[in-house]
Structure 1
Amino acid sequence: MSVARFRSVVLDCPDPLALAGFYAAVGGGTPHAEDDDWVVLQVPDGPRLAFQRAEGLTPPEWPRADRNSQQFHVDFDAGSTWQEMDAAHEKVLALGARPLDLEDREKKDFLVYADPAGHPFCLCRIDRP
């Protein structure tokens, strides 16, 4: 038996509503601002993401393990074909994502980006039955 029930993943950021809007455009859902410092996004059939204001946030450096490392990242299923991945790539760039690692995608089956606040996330190609 578990000790507690999972509630949400919280991302620190300078503008909670803007970052929640970015993730809503990528993964779906509607951001709900509880106040200027806290916004919640329930991703359909997915996790609850929350965004907390953190003035002066220093975004993680990718890939770093020694200091200011990513600590975690969000993965998105972007389809099973490279055509779907390419379309998702163009859409996240239009939303304000910044590429971090687009090399060797055929070997890795994922592409790495930074969201507008600098947090790493991946678009992943998965095989579907």
Structure 2
Amino acid sequence: MPPVAHVRNVVIDCPDPHALADFYARVGGGTPQAEDDDWVVLQVPGGPRLAFQRAEGLAPPEWPRADRNAQQFHLDFDAGATWEEIDAAHEKVLALGARPLDLEDREKKDFQVYADPAGHPFCLCRIEHQEGLD
């Protein structure tokens, strides 16, 4: 069955669309394109098109609490196949303004959870080496 429509953007509300688009461009690549002060688009190379929309007074989710400003979405980033690569990505996202939310049991879960500068959760994930994907 053909789809009714195709996904155009994943839209992320935030207080400062330019700053958050720049953060995600540094994490996932691409160049933010501002359409105006309230809307910035980022085409992540090999990934989705993210749009950042100004939302004054945004109350970020309190991860992992579901009873207060529940998380509505999060982004996962493949950050490498080794924990050394994950550790390097960890240092880089912290330098960009992310803050850790859950770094426990990473070997068991294969991911670590952070908040972006606007408070949205995202994950750095460890990818498994798979034959034929190199």
Query: 1:123 corresponds to which letter in structure 2?
Result: L
For this pair of structures, how many residues does the alignment match?
129
Given the alignment of the two structures, is residue 36 of structure 1 paired with residue 24 of structure 2, yes or no?
no
Aligned to 1:83: 84
Query: How many Å separate the matches in 1 of 2:6 and 2:108?
Result: 36
Q: CA deviation at 1:67?
A: 2.8
SS at 1:96 equivalent:
coil
Query: How many Å separate the matches in 2 of 1:96 and 1:65?
Result: 24
Aligned to 2:127: 126
CA RMSD of aligned residues (A): 0.6
Q: CA deviation at 1:66?
A: 2.1
Query: 2:25 corresponds to which letter in structure 1?
Result: A
Aligned to 1:92: 93
SS at 1:122 equivalent:
strand
Aligned to 2:106: 105
The range that moved more, 59-68 or 117-126, is 59-68
SS at 2:112 equivalent:
strand
Query: How many Å separate the matches in 2 of 1:74 and 1:85?
Result: 16
Query: 1:52 corresponds to which letter in structure 2?
Result: Q
Query: 1:34 corresponds to which letter in structure 2?
Result: E
Given the alignment of the two structures, is residue 21 of structure 1 paired with residue 22 of structure 2, yes or no?
yes
Aligned to 2:7: 6
TM-score of the pair, normalised by structure 1 = 0.98
Q: CA deviation at 1:87?
A: 0.2
Aligned-pair identity (%): 84
Q: CA deviation at 1:64?
A: 1.6
The ranges of structure 1 where at least 4 consecutive aligned residues each deviate by more than 6 angstroms after the TM superposition are none
Query: 2:59 corresponds to which letter in structure 1?
Result: T
Q: CA deviation at 1:106?
A: 0.5
Query: How many Å separate the matches in 1 of 2:28 and 2:19?
Result: 14
Structure 2 runs not aligned, ≥5 long: none
